């Protein structure tokens, strides 16, 4: 599922530049995530980079946008249509990631 940023966000600016899909943007009060662009970094990294760098742990899966690992991989492929498909592997959280 897409990720969301909770109101615990301190606007530290570390999440926005690490998002490979440019899904994170400054909202009215806190940073927000565009669910149509968020793939939880599937296809790019082994773990969501915004979660990795967030100092206050305010980024969580969005209950409003449930998606399977396969759907996240398909979204990644749509967003990066010029990238050829690669071999799928599974990480410890059973999310699909692409290996090179």
Mind listing the pLDDT tens digit for each residue in 72-93? 999 999 999 855 544 444 444 4
Mind listing the pLDDT tens digit for each residue in 18-59? 999 999 999 999 999 999 999 999 999 999 999 999 999 999
How far is the C-alpha of 39 from the C-alpha of 76, rounded, in Å? 6
| Res 64 pLDDT > 70 | yes
CA atoms within 13 A on the CB side of 13: 0
Please report the pLDDT score of residue 99 as a whole number.
42
Global pTM reads: 0.78
Q: What is the mean pLDDT of residues 56-65?
A: 96
Please report the pLDDT score of residue 1 as a whole number.
82
CB 9 within 8 A of CB 31: yes
The CATH number, out of the four listed (3.40.710.10, 3.30.70.20, 3.40.220.10, 3.40.50.10490), of the domain defined by the range 3-99: 3.30.70.20
Q: Tell me the domain boundaries of the chain.
A: 3-99
């Amino acid at each position: 599922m897409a990720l969301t940023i909770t109101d615990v966000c301190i606007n530290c600016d570390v999440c926005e530049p690490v998002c490979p899909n440019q899904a994170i943007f400054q909202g009215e009060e806190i940073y927000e995530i565009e669910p149509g662009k968020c793939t939880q970094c599937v296809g790019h990294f082994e773990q969501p980079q915004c979660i990795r760098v967030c100092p206050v742990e305010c980024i969580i899966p969005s209950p409003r946008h449930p998606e399977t690992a396969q759907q996240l991989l398909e979204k990644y492929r749509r967003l990066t249509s010029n990238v050829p498909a690669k071999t799928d592997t599974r990480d410890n959280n059973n999310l699909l990631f692409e290996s090179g």
